[in-house]
Amino acid sequence: MTKPSTRRPDHPPFAFVLFGGTGDLAMRKILPALYAAHRDGLLAPEGQIVAVANTALDSSGYLRWVGEHVKPHIAGTPLDDSVWRSFLERIAYVALDASQPEAFSLLGNTLASGHGRRIFYLATGPALFVPICRALASAGLTEGSRIVLEKPLGYDLESSNAINDAVGQIFKEDQIYRIDHYLGKEAVQNLLALRFGNSLFEPLWRREWVESIQITVAEELGVEGRGNFYDQTGALRDMVQNHLLQLLSIIAMEPPRSMDADAVRDEKLRVLRALKPVLGDEIRHNVVRGQYHAGAIKGASVCAYHAESGVGQGSTTETFVALKAEVENWRWAGVPFFLRTGKRLAGRIAEIVVNFRPVPHSALGPTALRPGSNRLTIRLQPNESIRLSALAKQPGMGMTLQGVHLDLAFDQFFQQDRMEAYQRLLLDVIGGRLALFVRRDEQEAAWRWVAPIIEDWLGNASPPKPYASGTWGPAAASALLARHNTCWPEEEN
């Protein structure tokens, strides 16, 4: 009698080839995420991980490197030594120079014995994306495989098109997984659940009832040793072009027909294509770029951006952006979407605030028009929560209204651990699920929208506006909202 198969269809076998195997991303995110998936029993037992980098190490040298550099980044339950050892058994290392196609036969030899689906994860600089894909193709390794591209995919519309064209000659679109790790965050997927699982919000989710929407992704961190990379990138390319526009598209999209990858991505694409271009003088009026100066974060002094290592003298790279976007369609015409992101700000917060219109006539007196009520705040991180701010009557004889909150803290309601974004996304790649990855046309639409701003800043001699580290950015970001009779949440009262 044949033994029943223990293979689970949802845990398919794989050969996960990680280019950039000794890089920062591998160390901080990808290997810890694979470890967590292994620990949680979510990987097929025969799944193998092949790390590839240019560093001359043998496999045991690499495993020592993993022990030293990856272990400290593993979150969650205390590390179990036997689980860790069994994780290391999955890992092989291949030292090769990714710019030398001849070297790829080495990789071919290592993969020859594996039977799972090949996944090539490019956690390298974008300059290596095309050479790696071509070398994989000439080594005959691409058939039926999947390729994962990390951001930044290119530097602007043109360079991202060049990469997508070249990669597209080797891999079909349904083999290409473009990562935006925000899409793997539980809280971001919850936006879909909130909008499309409840009938409560849908009738109000439109221009007739929504006055403005604010999306903030604020960080306390600075450039964290990534000065070389960041100085060539800046907040617009690093955060707005991808994470913030993805959030905007999820908030503004029409209900998709299903959660099928293309159904969701088609709707997000429609939003991105409906973004009103920000051109000419509007850039000066509606886009604020800032750069952090010295200041203090949680009481500790931190240096100015231009004093960070790897940052060019007199750099005009922005570490902060605030802007007004508009979605030109029937649902959203005239509703401003204020987007804001920055490093070295006063807090680490990612949240979406939906400001509903005030009541049309206040029978209850002027307090009924108080700011801060009629608002839905969706906190994505930290402490994922949803808060509905409303007005209620203060107890007593009069009719004095006061702001009250209906709060839902997700970690109190759902007590199980959250999966890290990378873990979720890597499992999706292994399982062949594309819904949480960015399709080429979405990426192109996002680049197209930021392109005029990038161009304007290139030709614009005026430097970014300074802000002290530990504040909420330049005063111009507050002025932008004040011109629309509103303010950022922390400015209320």
Q: What SS3 state is found at 489?
A: helix
Residue indicated by tokens 């970014």: 464
d(CA 429, CA 433): 6
Burial class (CB in 10 A: 0-12, 13-18, 19+), 468: middle
CB of 219 to ligand BG6, least distance (A): 5
DSSP code per residue over 158-195? HHHHHHHHHHHHHS-GGGEEE--GGGGSHHHHHHHHHH
**Residue 222, both tokens:** 């600075």
Least Å distance, CB 465 to ligand BG6, is 20
Of 67 and 382, which CB lies nearer to ligand BG6 in the complex structure? 382
Six-digit token string for 317:
């790279």
Residue 38 marked ligand-binding: no
| 243 belongs to the catalytic site | yes
Nearer to ligand BG6, 210 or 240 (CB): 240
- Shortest CB 372 distance to ligand BG6, Å: 25
Cβ-based nearer residue to ligand BG6, 211 or 351? 351
Q: How far is the CB of 135 from ligand BG6 (least distance, A)?
A: 26
CB 79 to ligand BG6: min, Å: 22
Shortest spacing between CB 236 and ligand BG6, in angstroms = 12
Q: Please report whether residue 308 would count as binding ligand BG6 according to CB under 6 A.
A: no
Question: Could you tell me the smallest distance in angstroms from the CB atom of residue 156 to ligand BG6?
Answer: 16
Pairing of strands 465-468, 287-293: parallel
Does 219 carry a binding-site annotation?
A: yes
Q: How far is the CB of 238 from ligand BG6 (least distance, A)?
A: 5
Contact assessment for residue 452 and residue 284, using Cβ atoms and an 8 Å cutoff: no
Is residue 481 within 8 A of residue 487, CB to CB? The reply is yes
Is the Cβ–Cβ distance between 363 and 220 less than 8 Å? no
- Please indicate if the annotation marks 71 as binding a ligand: no
For residue 449, with 0-12 CB atoms within 10 Å meaning exposed, 13-18 middle and 19 or more buried, which class applies? buried
Q: Which of 95, 177, 219, 237 binds ligand BG6 (CB under 6 A)?
A: 219
Rg (CA), the chain: 24
Q: Which of 243, 285, 361, 484 is catalytic?
A: 243
We find the least distance from the C-beta atom of residue 381 to ligand BG6, in angstroms, to be: 6
Strands ordered across the beta sheet of 176-178: 91-95, 48-53, 14-19, 117-122, 146-149, 176-178
Residue 217, C-beta contacts closer than 8 angstroms, at least 6 positions apart: 239, 243, 244, 247, 340, 341, 349, 350
Instruction: Using the minimum distance from each CB to ligand BG6, give the nearer residue, 141 or 179.
Output: 179
Instruction: Please pick, from the candidates 211, 231, 238, 420, the single residue that binds ligand BG6 as defined by CB under 6 A.
Output: 238
> Cβ distance 491 to 475 under 8 Å?
no
- Measured from the CB atom, the residue of 103 and 128 that comes closer to ligand BG6 is 128
User: Closest CB to ligand BG6 among 221 and 296?
Assistant: 221
Q: Return the H-helix or E-strand segment holding 364.
A: none
With left for phi above 0 and alpha for psi between -120 and 50, is residue 371 left, alpha or beta?
A: beta
Q: In the complex with ligand BG6, which residue's Cβ is closer, 219 or 442?
A: 219
* Token duo for residue 303: 């240096």
Residue nearest ligand BG6 (C-beta atom): 238
Q: Binding residue per annotation — 442?
A: no
Binders of ligand BG6 among 386-425, rule CB under 6 A? none
CA dihedral 434→185→245→435, nearest 10 degrees, is: 10
The DSSP-derived string for 400-428 is: -EEEEEEEEEHHHH--SPPPPHHHHHHHH
**Two tokens, residue 39:** 């620990």
Please name the helix (run of DSSP H) or strand (run of DSSP E) that holds residue 237, with its range, or none. none
- Residue 238 in marked binding region: yes
Beta carbon nearer to ligand BG6, 221 or 392: 221
Take residue 230 and report the two structure tokens written for it.
């960041």
Of the pair 141, 421, the CB lying nearest ligand BG6 is at 421
Site size for ligand BG6, by CB under 6 A? Answer: 3
Element (H, E) at 231: helix 227-231
- Binding residues for ligand BG6, rule: CB under 6 A, are 219, 221, 238
Catalogue the active-site residues. Answer: 243
Q: Which residues make up each annotated binding site for substrate?
A: 181, 185, 219, 238, 343
Q: Which residues make up each annotated binding site for NADP(+)?
A: 151
Q: Which residues make up each annotated binding site?
A: 151, 181, 185, 219, 238, 343
